[in-house]
């Protein structure tokens, strides 16, 4: 069982390449949530991929090179907050395996101990207490299979959503099943991936939730793409997923009155 530290004054923020490329607003929203916990957030602009695609494709040497380049960007002892459960799992667990028995093992393990997935950090380190300021609504959540196995994101993300007084969390059938993305899996096995995401979107839509959220943008790209295609083919549903950080910030931000904003 992981032993969590006291809340720090400063953290590094690891946005992930997918958030940086496809939804930078989610990264900014997550930073805002961390700042609301009275934490200074340091974003290192040279950060890139964590090395997971190379690692899961069997290219250990290339994955080691990427991992070492990323570790070097975070020299201070501050926690590294990762905005993806699968990337967090790579950096917290698999970096250790990549360098086991090497001369860099001790240094890498020290770094891995500093890595926290975003919702994990809010729940277990910040012990965040969220106040819901939005109207009554419902939400369905998808957590990537890697994030569930390696970082327990389904537990911590659910704990955060359950703090929102006016939000009903709906549970999809076969919730733990993969959406079919799987990084390079969706490229190597497109037909299988398509069948999997069709199942996933059917179960999501069956909940009739108002919103879809996830803490992993890889999954969201796959699911949102499938939902958009289905809509173009005549499905009246217009549901599109958002990163959990954006949903949480929206729900916990009090809109200023006209008098306050003037």
Per-residue pLDDT, averaged over 55-65, amounts to 95
Among 126, 161, 131, 145, which Cα is nearest to 245's?
161
- Write down the pTM of the prediction: 0.92
Give the mean model confidence (pLDDT) for residues 187-211.
93
> What secondary structure does DSSP assign to 24-64, as a single string?
HHHHHHHHHHHHTTT-EEEE-TT----SHHHHHTT-HHHHH
Among residues 122, 187, 132, 178, the alpha carbon closest in space to that of 155 is found at 122
The pLDDT value recorded for residue 262 is 34
Q: What is the pLDDT of residue 256?
A: 45
pLDDT value at position 255? 60
The per-residue pLDDT of the chain, averaged, comes to 93
The band of 181, judged by pLDDT with boundaries at 50, 70 and 90, is: confident
- Higher pLDDT residue, 106 or 255? 106
Instruction: State residue 148's pLDDT score.
Output: 83
Say which residue, 168 or 177, is predicted with more confidence.
168
Contact by Cβ (8 Å): 193, 179: no
Domain-by-domain residue ranges, the chain?
Answer: 10-125, 137-252
Mean pLDDT of 142-164: 90
* Whole-number percent of the chain with pLDDT over 90: 80
The arithmetic mean of pLDDT across residues 97-109, rounded, is: 98
21-25, 35-39, 176-180, 254-258 — which one is most confidently predicted on average? Answer: 35-39
- In this prediction, residue 183 carries a pLDDT of 72
CATH topology of domain 137-252: Rossmann fold (3.40.50)
pLDDT higher than threshold 60 for residue 260: no
- The mean pLDDT of 138-160, rounded to a whole number, is 90
Check residue 90 and give its pLDDT: 95
CA 82 to chain centre: 7
pLDDT digits (tens, 9 = 90+) for 226-259: 999 999 999 998 999 999 999 999 999 976 434 4
Residues 119 and 84 sit within 8 Å (Cβ to Cβ): no
124 phi/psi in degrees, rounded to 5? -95, -25
Question: Is the model's pLDDT at 261 over the cut of 60?
Answer: no
Q: What are phi and psi of 40, to 5 degrees?
A: -80, 130
- Which pair of structure tokens corresponds to residue 75? 């020299």
Distances in Å between the alpha carbon of 3 and those of 6, 114, 205?
10, 11, 38
């Amino acid at each position: 069982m992981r032993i969590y530290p006291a809340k720090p004054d400063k953290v590094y923020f690891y946005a992930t390449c997918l958030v940086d490329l496809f939804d930078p607003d989610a990264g900014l929203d997550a930073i805002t949530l961390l700042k609301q916990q009275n934490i200074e957030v340091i974003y290192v602009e040279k950060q890139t991929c964590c090395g997971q695609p190379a690692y899961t494709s069997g290219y250990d040497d290339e994955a080691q090179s990427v991992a070492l380049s990323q570790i070097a960007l975070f020299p201070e002892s501050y926690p590294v907050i990762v905005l993806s459960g699968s990337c967090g799992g790579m950096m917290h667990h698999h970096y250790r395996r990549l360098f086991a028995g090497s001369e860099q093992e001790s240094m890498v393990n020290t770094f891995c101990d500093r890595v926290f997935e975003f919702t994990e950090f809010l729940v277990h380190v910040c012990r965040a207490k969220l106040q819901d300021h939005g109207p009554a609504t419902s939400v369905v959540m998808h957590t990537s299979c890697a994030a569930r196995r390696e970082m327990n994101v389904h537990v911590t993300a659910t704990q955060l959503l359950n703090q929102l007084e006016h939000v009903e969390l709906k549970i999809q059938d076969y919730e733990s099943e993969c959406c079919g993305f799987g990084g390079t899996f969706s490229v190597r096995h497109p037909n299988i991936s398509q069948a999997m995401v069709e199942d996933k979107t059917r179960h999501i839509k069956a909940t009739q939730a108002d919103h879809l959220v996830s803490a992993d943008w890889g999954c969201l790209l796959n699911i949102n793409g499938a939902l958009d295609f289905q809509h173009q083919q005549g499905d009246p549903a217009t549901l599109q997923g958002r990163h959990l950080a954006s949903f949480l910030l929206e729900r916990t931000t009090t809109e200023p009155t006209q008098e306050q904003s003037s």
